[in-house]
Amino acid sequence: MSLITVGTMAFDAIETPFGKVDKIVGGSATYVAYAASNYVQPIYQISIIGNDFPAAEIDALKNRGVELEGVEVVPDKKSFFWSGKYHLDMNTRDTLVTDLNVLADFNPIVPEQYQGSPFLMLGNLMPKLQLSVINQMKTRPKLIVMDTMNFWMDIALDDLKEVLKKVDVLMVNDSEARQLSGEFSLVKAARVIMNMGPKYLIIKKGEHGALLFHEQHVFFAPALPLEEVFDPTGAGDTFAGGFIGYLAKTEDISFDNMKRAIIVGSALASFCVEKFGPDRMKELTKAEIDDRINQFVQLVNFDIDLV
Amino acid sequence: MSLITVGTMAFDAIETPFGKVDKIVGGSATYVAYAASNYVQPIYQISIIGNDFPAAEIDALKNRGVELEGVEVVPDKKSFFWSGKYHLDMNTRDTLVTDLNVLADFNPIVPEQYQGSPFLMLGNLMPKLQLSVINQMKTRPKLIVMDTMNFWMDIALDDLKEVLKKVDVLMVNDSEARQLSGEFSLVKAARVIMNMGPKYLIIKKGEHGALLFHEQHVFFAPALPLEEVFDPTGAGDTFAGGFIGYLAKTEDISFDNMKRAIIVGSALASFCVEKFGPDRMKELTKAEIDDRINQFVQLVNFDIDLV
| Chain A contacts to B (CB-CB under 8 A) | 39, 88-89, 184-188, 205, 208-209, 211, 218-222, 225-229, 246, 249-250, 256, 259-260, 263-264, 290, 293, 297, 299-307
Write down the pLDDT at residue B30: 97
| CB-closest option in A186, A225, A226 to B225 | A186
The whole domain housing A189 covers: 3-300
Q: How far is CA A81 from the centre of its chain?
A: 18
- Decide: residue B238, CB within 10 A, 0-12 exposed, 13-18 middle, 19+ buried: buried
DSSP state of A54: -
Question: B276 in a domain, yes or no?
Answer: yes
Least confident of A221-235, A281-295, B168-182, B205-219: A221-235
Write down the pLDDT at residue B69: 98
In chain A, whose CA is at the least distance from the CA of B212?
A299
Give the sheet arrangement for strand A10-16, strand by strand.
A19-26, A10-16, A80-86, A93-99
The verdict on whether omega for the bond into residue B42 sits within 30 degrees of 0, i.e. cis, is yes
What DSSP string describes chain B? Answer: --EEEE---EEEEEEETTEEEEEEEE-HHHHHHHHHTTT-S-EEEEEEE-TTS-HHHHHHHHHTTEEEEEEEE-TTSPPEEEEEEE-TTSS-EEEEEEE-GGGGG------GGGTT-SEEEE-SS-HHHHHHHHHH-SS--SEEEEE--HHHHHH-HHHHHHHHTT-SEEEEEHHHHHHHHS-SSHHHHHHHHHTTS-SEEEEE-GGG-EEEEETTEEEEEPPPP-S-----TTHHHHHHHHHHHHHHHHT--SHHHHHHHHHHHHHHHHHHTTSSTTHHHHH--HHHHHHHHHHHHHHH-------
- Asked whether the beta carbons of B108 and B46 are under 8 A apart, the reply is yes
The answer to whether B211 contacts A225, with C-beta atoms less than 8 Å apart, is yes
Write the CA distances from B36 to B211, B248, B282, integer angstroms: 20, 9, 12
d(CA B289, CA B303): 25
Digit-coded pLDDT (tens) for A145-164: 999 999 999 999 999 999 99
Question: B203 in a domain, yes or no?
Answer: yes
Question: B307 in a domain, yes or no?
Answer: no
Digit-coded pLDDT (tens) for A76-92: 999 999 999 998 777 78
A227 — pLDDT class (breaks 50, 70, 90)? confident
Write down the pLDDT at residue A89: 74
The answer to whether A290 contacts B297, with C-beta atoms less than 8 Å apart, is no
What DSSP string describes A14-45? Answer: EEETTEEEEEEEE-HHHHHHHHHTTT-S-EEE
Q: What is the pLDDT along chain B (307 residues), one digit of tens a residue?
A: 899 999 999 999 999 988 899 999 999 999 999 999 999 999 999 999 999 999 999 999 999 999 999 999 999 999 999 999 998 777 788 999 999 999 999 999 999 999 999 999 999 999 999 999 999 999 999 999 999 999 999 999 999 999 999 999 999 999 999 999 999 999 999 999 999 999 999 999 988 999 999 999 999 999 999 888 888 999 999 999 999 999 999 999 999 999 999 999 999 999 999 999 999 999 999 999 999 999 999 999 888 878 8
Question: A247 in a domain, yes or no?
Answer: yes
d(CA A147, CA A127): 10
Q: What is the ipTM of this complex?
A: 0.88
Write down the pLDDT at residue A134: 98
The verdict on whether omega for the bond into residue A42 sits within 30 degrees of 0, i.e. cis, is yes
Write down the pLDDT at residue B220: 95
- State how many domains chain B has: 1
Digit-coded pLDDT (tens) for A117-139: 999 999 999 999 999 999 999 99
**CA-based nearest distance B66→chain A, Å:** 20
* Exposure string over A26-46, b if 16+ CB within 10 A, otherwise e: bbbbbbbbbbbbbbbbbbbbb
Question: B305 in a domain, yes or no?
Answer: no
A243-268: average pLDDT: 97
pLDDT of residue A255 exceeding 90, the answer is yes
Question: B306 in a domain, yes or no?
Answer: no
End-to-end CA distance of chain B: 47
| CB-closest option in B246, B264, B300 to A300 | B300
**Chosen from A290, A300, A303 to mutate, greatest number of chain B CBs within 10 A:** A300
The answer to whether B209 contacts A211, with C-beta atoms less than 8 Å apart, is no
**CA-based nearest distance A101→chain B, Å:** 37
Question: B160 in a domain, yes or no?
Answer: yes
Percent over 90 (pLDDT), chain A: 90
d(CA A260, CA A136): 30
Question: A273 in a domain, yes or no?
Answer: yes
pLDDT of residue A238 exceeding 90, the answer is yes
pLDDT of residue A107 exceeding 80, the answer is yes
To the nearest 10°, the Cα dihedral for B257, B260, B264, B266? 120
What CATH number should be reported for the domain holding residue B68?
3.40.1190.20
Higher pLDDT, A237 or B307: A237
- Asked whether the beta carbons of A268 and A288 are under 8 A apart, the reply is no
Write down the pLDDT at residue B91: 73
